[in-house]
Amino acid sequence: MRIACGPGWVDTGLVFTEADGTPLHLAQVTDQFQRLIREADLPQPIRLHGVRHGVATHALAAGVDARVVKEMLGHSSSTFTRDTYQSVVDEVKHQAAAALAGVFNRAGARV
């Protein structure tokens, strides 16, 4: 798109833009997102901002360093990122440990 636009390209540094590089309008992005949700027959409601939180939570749960997640989200500090999402990540870890314990307990009962 940048080459096709030529010298009129506005370099915002954004990944998703209008054909001239300018930012997409939020309402346009939201409408497109909601259309994709309906087409995929996903449960409602799913908010676009909720996806952002989901990405952060799952990234931290997967072991991605908080500094990397901070950069992904544009937070001012990794402390803010950890403070905002760490309790959710800790809960996910506890649930995973409990699920594994259940598997091991059931396997031990069969031995």
Same domain for 1 and 41, yes or no, is yes
Same domain for 54 and 38, yes or no, is no
Q: What pLDDT sits at residue 12?
A: 93
How far separated are the first and last CA of the chain, in Å rounded?
Answer: 62
Same domain for 70 and 100, yes or no, is yes
Q: Find the domain containing 21 and state its range.
A: 1-46
pLDDT in tens, the chain (111 residues): 889 999 999 999 888 899 999 999 989 989 999 999 999 999 888 888 888 888 898 898 888 999 999 999 999 999 999 888 877 777 777 888 899 998 888 877 665
In 40-77, which ranges are continuous DSSP H helix?
48-61, 66-73
Question: pTM for the complete prediction?
Answer: 0.57
Give me 69's structure tokens: 């997640």
Same domain for 23 and 59, yes or no, is no
Q: How many domains does the chain have?
A: 2
